[in-house]
Structure 1
Amino acid sequence: MSNASIINIDRELCTGCRRCAEVCPVDAIEGEDEKPQSIDTDKCVMCGQCVQICKGYLASDDEVSTPRSKKLFDRGMLNSVREPIFAAYNLGQVKKLKEMLRNKDMFKVVQCAPSVRVALGEDFGLPLGTLTPGKMAASLKKLGFDRVYDTNFGADLTIMEEGSELIQRLKDNENLPMFTSCCPAWVKYLEQMYPELLNHLSSCKSPQQMAGVVFKTYGAKINGINPGKIYSVSIMPCTCKEFECERDEMHDSGYRDVDLVITTRELAQLLKDEGIDFYQLQEEKFDTPLGKYSGAGAIFGSTGGVMEAALRTGYELATKKTIPKLDLTMVRGGEGFRTAEIELEDFHLKVGVVSGLKNVKTVLESIKSGKCDLQFIEVMTCPEGCISGGGQPKLFIDSDRDQAYKNRKKSIYQHDANLSVRKSHENPAIKEIYNKFLKKPLGEKSHELLHTQFISRRK
C-alpha cells in the first residue's frame, strides 16, 4: 500500500484553509491559500494529524460533482455512515473487516491499543476520555471475534525486550542514546530523513507487531488452531499502523503477522452499522492469557508512558531490587521535548521524551554533532502521544480537543493506578510466555519473532 492510498486530500472538498499544513510535522502538505492542497507522499509519515484537524467537509445534504455514496466507497467507508465526510481522510479497511467477520472458516483474533479504550466512548455520547475497556471487549465479542486480546499484552512484551536491550546497550556503552521504536510514523521519518542514525533505534517491533506474531505462533498453539487459519485484526488510534503491518519484515510468524488494521473511528462506525448499543453493553473481560496486561502496558498511550513503563521494569531488571517509586511523573507531560535525570538510589539515567515529531530534529542534530548526553529517548509523532492519534474520534471544537486529551491521559493513568499489577515483568501472562515459549528476553526465539531491522528510505 502506498502512502497516497493511506492519507489523502479530496480536492473537491478542500477549501485551502491550510490548517492541515500547520499541523503536518514533516511539511508534506503543499498548496496555495484558498486552493486545494496536495500531499508529498515521499515526505508523508501517515500520522493523520491532517485528518484530525481538517474542517472542510461535505454535509449529508450538500451536493458536489462526485456523489456522497461514491466518496464513501472510494474511502473504504460503510454505506451507513451519516456523519459529515471531510477533505483530509485516511483510507479505511472496515468494509474488509465486516466481510471477514462473516467468514466461518477463519479464526478471528483482535487486539486493541491502550488509547482506544479512553476514546471510543466519545463516539457514543459518553464524556470525553471515558475509560471503557469492559464495554469495548464486550462489543468486539458481539461482533463475532473468536478471541478478544489486547495490545497492552504486546506492550508488556515490548517492555521486557526493550528494557533488556537498553540495559545491554548501557553495559556495552554502544549506540546510545537508544530511541523507542513503538511509533511507526517516527520510524518511517528516521528511515527517510536520518537513516545514518538507525543504529540508535531499538530493534524491538511495536506492541501491535509483537502481539501479531505471538497470536500466530504461541497463540496458535494454545488455541489449537492452524496459524494459516488465524485472521489477526488490530484496533488502533493511529493511521500509520496499516503501513506498519504491511512492511515486508512483518511476516516472522510465517504469515502476515497482522492482517488488518482499523482505527477507533472505524470501530465506532462498524458498531453503529451492526446496531450494537455500546452504551447499554454489559462489561466483559479480555480473553486470557494474551489479553492480560499490567498498568505499565496501559500507559503506553500517553506521551512519556513507554518511558515510564520501561523504567519501572528496567530498574528492577538492572538492580534486582524493588523500584522505590512507581509513579515516575518527571517523564509525564504534553507536547514538546523534555528531559529528566532518573535517580533512584544507585540507578542513574538521563532520558528524554519527544512528543510531536516537529520537536525531534534538534535532538537528532545534537546526536549527529556528538552533543547529546542522554541515554534513552522516547519519540511519539502525535502531539500528546497515541491518545491524540490520527485515527481517534474527530473533535470539531478546539477547546474540546484540549479537554479530550487531558481527560484521556487522566483515564489512562487512573487505569494504571487501579490495576493490581503495574510492572510488565510481573504480569503472570508475560512470565508464562517466557517460561513456555520465548525462554528469555533477547534470547534466540525473542530475536526471531520480536525484533527486526529497519531500512533506509532516503531518496
Structure 2
Amino acid sequence: MKEVMITINGKICTAPEGSTILEAARINNIEIPTLCYLKEINEIGACRMCVVEVKGARSLVTACVYPISEGMEITTNSQKVFNSRKLSLELILSTHERKCLSCIRSGNCELQKLCKEFNVDDEDYFNGENCEYEFDDSAVHMVRNNNKCILCRRCVAVCSKWQSVGVIGPNNRGFNTHIGSAYEQNLGDVPCISCGQCIVVCPTGAIHEKDQTQEVWDALEDPTKHVIVQTAPSIRVTLGEAFHMPIGSNVEGKMVAALRRIGFDRVFDTNVAADFTIMEEANEFLERVENNGPFPMFTSCSPGWVKYCESYHPELIPNLSTCKSPQQMFGALAKTWYAEKEGIDPKDIFVVGIMPCTAKKFEVTREDEAAAGYSDCDVALTTRELARMIDKAGVRFVELEDESFDNPLGEATGAGYIFGATGGVMEAALRTAAETLAGHSLEQVEFTEVRGMSGIKEATYEMSGATVNVAVASGISNAKKLIEKIQAGEAFYHFVEIMGCPGGCINGGGQPVQPASVRNFVDLKTKRAAALYAEDKDKGLRKSNENPIVQKIYQEFLDKPGSLKAHHILHTSYRDRSEIEIS
C-alpha cells in the first residue's frame, strides 16, 4: 500500500494512503482522544473530542473521519485544540449525572479519564434546564441510566451493525435527544437478545449488567447452602485484564485461588460440561445424519443466538440442537449426579456460573432448565462482576499462587477450552464425530479451517465416506447473512455453529471493558483466543470422548449419549418468541 508523507506536530511522518488523521497519528505513536469513535462501526465525528488543526483548513477538523493527504500539516496539541476539547467536555458534563464515586465504571470510564486529563471538574459550567430519566431495569440482564448517557451512539451502532437487532436508537431531536427503544418501550418489552455488546462499548456507566453479586454473597453466608462455582472456558484468558495484566494472559490458577478465598465450597470448571455438550451434540448430529435431517443442525451453546433464533427466526427452532449450554448442563449435573454422589439435597446446592455473557443471566430464567426440579444454575455472573467480588474480598489477585480446580468436575479436555473462541464448538464436535464415524482413535484432531476471527467460515470434510458441509458464524449480523444464504438455497450445510458475539465468548458482553483507545487498535479477539488454543495444544487429552470423568458419569449415571436419562438432564426445548413479550 502506498505511503503518504505528512507532518504531525512538526515531525515528518508516514502512514498508509486512505488512513484517517486518527489512524495516522496512532501509527506514529501519537494518541488523539475520542469518545464516540469505534473503528468501522461508529465513525461519525459527533463528540468533537478528536479535533485537530490542519494547515489550510478554515476550522478544526475531526481526526476520526478526516483522511490524510500528501504534505498535510497537522497539529494535535495546540492550545486551540486543547481549549476546544475542554469546552466539549464541559458541555457533555453539563447534562451528565456526576455521581462518579458510586458509578460502576468509576476508574474505568473514558469520560472520567478525559476530564482528569483536561482539568475539567464537577463545577456547573453551563447551568440551566436539564432532562431527567428514570432507570430502565426491566430487562433481566442489564440496566440503562440515560442520565449518564453522552449520546456517543456506540451502543446504537453495535446493536444495528454488529448484531442486526437494532432495538435501540436516538429518540426525539435537539436538546431532548436520548437513546431508547421505539415508542419509548422499556428494554424488557422489546426483542433484545441480551448479548450485552452495547455494554462493552459504552464509554461511561450509562448501561451496565444487572449486578447479582449480593445474591452470591448472601448464599455464601447461608450455612444451609452448598455453594458451587463454575467458570466458563474464556474467563481464564480475560479475567486478568480486570487487574491490568496483559491481554491474553491465562490466569486459570490465580482465578481458582481467588474463588476459594472468596469462600466457595467447590470450584469447578465449566469446560467439563463443555465436554458433555460435545458428547450429546455429536450424538445428536450423527442421529440426524442417519435420519437425513433436519439440516442444518445449529449449535445451541450461545444464549444470545438462541434467543435471536426464537425471536426472529422461529421457523428454525427444529434445526436447533436440543443440548443445553455448558453452563446449564453443569448445573443440571451438579444438582443430579453430584448431589446424589455427595448426599446433598439439590435444593441446598447453589450453583454460580462465571460467564463471559450477559445473555447467561437470561438463560438461567428459561423454561425447561431445571433437571432436578430446581433451576439448573442459580446465578450467572459476568467476568466484571467476579472482578468486583475479588476486589471487595481484598484478594490481591496478581500475587496469588496458582491452584487447581476441585475434583470430580475440574478436569476437562482441550476440546472444552476452545469453546470460548468462534469455531471452537464446531472443531470440538468434529473431533468426536469424526472419531465415532471412523470407529477408532484419530491422531489428527485439529480442524484449522473453522478457526480464526472471520465473521463467516465454511469447510467441507470427508468422514468415513460421508461428506460433511459445515459453517461457522459469529456476531448476529453474520448469522443473519448465513441464514439468508441457507434459506435462499445458495448453500447447504449439515452443521452450523453460531456465536452471538463477534469472535465468540472471548468477546462476550460480560467481558472486561477495554477503552476505545485499545479496542480500535488492538485485536482483542485474536489475543484472547490464542491463549485458549495454546492450552488445548498442551493438553494430553484433546477429544471430549476421552475425558475420564465424562466416561465415568455416563457409565454410572447417564448410560450413554442420547439416552432417555441424558435427554431429561442435559437437553432442553425452545419456543417461538417472535411476539414481543416482557422478558
Shift of 1:146: 0.9
Confirm or deny that 1:22 pairs with 2:157: yes
Aligned partner (choices 253, 256, 264) of residue 134 of structure 1: 253
Aligned partner (choices 443, 447, 455) of residue 567 of structure 2: 447
Query: Which residue in the other structure is 2:484 paired with?
Result: 365
Counterpart contact for 1:128–1:403, Cα < 8 Å = no
User: Tell me, what secondary structure is at the counterpart of 2:178?
Assistant: coil
Query: Which residue in the other structure is 2:278 paired with?
Result: 159
1:120-167 deviation per Cα after TM superposition (whole angstroms, max 9, x unaligned): 111112111100111111111111111111110110000000000001
Within 2, Cα distance between the matches of 1:324 and 1:427?
16
Counterpart contact for 1:3–1:46, Cα < 8 Å = no
Counterpart contact for 1:315–1:347, Cα < 8 Å = no
Identity within the alignment, %: 43
Confirm or deny that 1:457 pairs with 2:577: yes
Shift of 1:213: 0.4
Within 2, Cα distance between the matches of 1:3 and 1:441?
39
Within 2, Cα distance between the matches of 1:18 and 1:358?
18
Query: Which residue in the other structure is 2:402 paired with?
Result: 283
Query: Which residue in the other structure is 1:423 paired with?
Result: 543
Structure 1 stretch displaced more, 90-99 or 419-428: 90-99
Shift of 1:321: 2.5
Confirm or deny that 1:410 pairs with 2:530: yes
Structure 1 stretch displaced more, 203-212 or 331-340: 331-340
Query: Which residue in the other structure is 2:195 paired with?
Result: 47
Counterpart contact for 1:335–1:356, Cα < 8 Å = no
Shift of 1:93: 0.5
- The 5 Å alignment of 1:68-87 reads 86-87=205-206
Counterpart AA for 1:279: V
User: Tell me, what secondary structure is at the counterpart of 2:146?
Assistant: coil
Within 2, Cα distance between the matches of 1:304 and 1:354?
8
Within 2, Cα distance between the matches of 1:333 and 1:28?
29
Counterpart AA for 1:175: P
User: Tell me, what secondary structure is at the counterpart of 1:338?
Assistant: strand
- Shift of the 174–347 alpha-carbon distance from structure 1 to 2, 3 Å rule, reads closer
Counterpart AA for 1:214: L
Counterpart contact for 1:324–1:344, Cα < 8 Å = no
Structure 1 stretch displaced more, 232-241 or 92-101: 92-101
1:209-268 deviation per Cα after TM superposition (whole angstroms, max 9, x unaligned): 000000000011222211111111100010010110111211121111101111100101
Confirm or deny that 1:355 pairs with 2:474: yes
Aligned partner (choices 86, 99, 102) of residue 221 of structure 2: 102
Query: Which residue in the other structure is 1:175 paired with?
Result: 294
Larger radius of gyration, structure 1 or 2?
Answer: 2
Shift of 1:346: 3.5
Aligned partner (choices 495, 499, 502) of residue 380 of structure 1: 499
Within 2, Cα distance between the matches of 1:310 and 1:161?
9
Counterpart contact for 1:137–1:286, Cα < 8 Å = yes
1:299-354 deviation per Cα after TM superposition (whole angstroms, max 9, x unaligned): 00000000000000011112213234212110011141121112356353110000
User: Tell me, what secondary structure is at the counterpart of 1:134?
Assistant: helix
Gaps of 5+ in 2: 1-135, 182-186
Query: Which residue in the other structure is 1:13 paired with?
Result: 148
Structure 1 stretch displaced more, 369-378 or 340-349: 340-349
Shift of 1:175: 0.8
Within 1, Cα distance between the matches of 2:140 and 2:357?
15
Aligned partner (choices 311, 322, 333) of residue 441 of structure 2: 322
- The 5 Å alignment of 1:135-150 reads 135-150=254-269
Counterpart contact for 2:437–2:464, Cα < 8 Å = no
Query: Which residue in the other structure is 2:313 paired with?
Result: 194
Query: Which residue in the other structure is 1:262 paired with?
Result: 381
Query: Which residue in the other structure is 1:240 paired with?
Result: 359
Shift of 1:88: 1.7
Shift of 1:400: 4.5
CA RMSD across the alignment: 1.7
Counterpart AA for 2:272: F
1:80-134 deviation per Cα after TM superposition (whole angstroms, max 9, x unaligned): xxxxxx1121211011112221112210111000010001111112111100111
Counterpart AA for 1:37: I
Counterpart contact for 1:9–1:38, Cα < 8 Å = no
Gaps of 5+ in 1: 58-85
Counterpart AA for 1:44: C
Counterpart contact for 2:437–2:463, Cα < 8 Å = no
Aligned partner (choices 399, 407, 412) of residue 518 of structure 2: 399
1:55-78 deviation per Cα after TM superposition (whole angstroms, max 9, x unaligned): 1x2xxxxxxxxxxxxxxxxxxxxx
Within 1, Cα distance between the matches of 2:534 and 2:312?
37
Confirm or deny that 1:208 pairs with 2:347: no
Within 2, Cα distance between the matches of 1:139 and 1:347?
47
Counterpart contact for 2:201–2:516, Cα < 8 Å = no
Shift of 1:396: 0.4
Within 2, Cα distance between the matches of 1:230 and 1:268?
23
Within 1, Cα distance between the matches of 2:467 and 2:412?
27
1:25-78 deviation per Cα after TM superposition (whole angstroms, max 9, x unaligned): 1111121588321245422101000000011x2xxxxxxxxxxxxxxxxxxxxx
Within 2, Cα distance between the matches of 1:50 and 1:449?
33
Within 2, Cα distance between the matches of 1:340 and 1:87?
41
Counterpart contact for 1:107–1:146, Cα < 8 Å = yes
Within 2, Cα distance between the matches of 1:7 and 1:52?
12
Structure 1 stretch displaced more, 321-330 or 156-165: 321-330
1:190-226 deviation per Cα after TM superposition (whole angstroms, max 9, x unaligned): 1011111111100101000000000000011222211
Within 1, Cα distance between the matches of 2:345 and 2:154?
48
User: Tell me, what secondary structure is at the counterpart of 1:37?
Assistant: strand
- Shift of the 400–20 alpha-carbon distance from structure 1 to 2, 3 Å rule, reads closer
Shift of 1:397: 3.0
Confirm or deny that 1:438 pairs with 2:519: no
Counterpart contact for 2:140–2:361, Cα < 8 Å = no
User: Tell me, what secondary structure is at the counterpart of 1:109?
Assistant: strand
- Shift of the 3–428 alpha-carbon distance from structure 1 to 2, 3 Å rule, reads farther
Query: Which residue in the other structure is 2:421 paired with?
Result: 302
Shift of 1:189: 0.6
Shift of 1:3: 5.8
User: Tell me, what secondary structure is at the counterpart of 1:149?
Assistant: strand
Counterpart contact for 2:438–2:464, Cα < 8 Å = no
Scaled by the length of structure 1, the TM-score of the pair is 0.90
- Shift of the 424–50 alpha-carbon distance from structure 1 to 2, 3 Å rule, reads same
Within 1, Cα distance between the matches of 2:397 and 2:298?
38
Structure 1 stretch displaced more, 401-410 or 253-262: 401-410
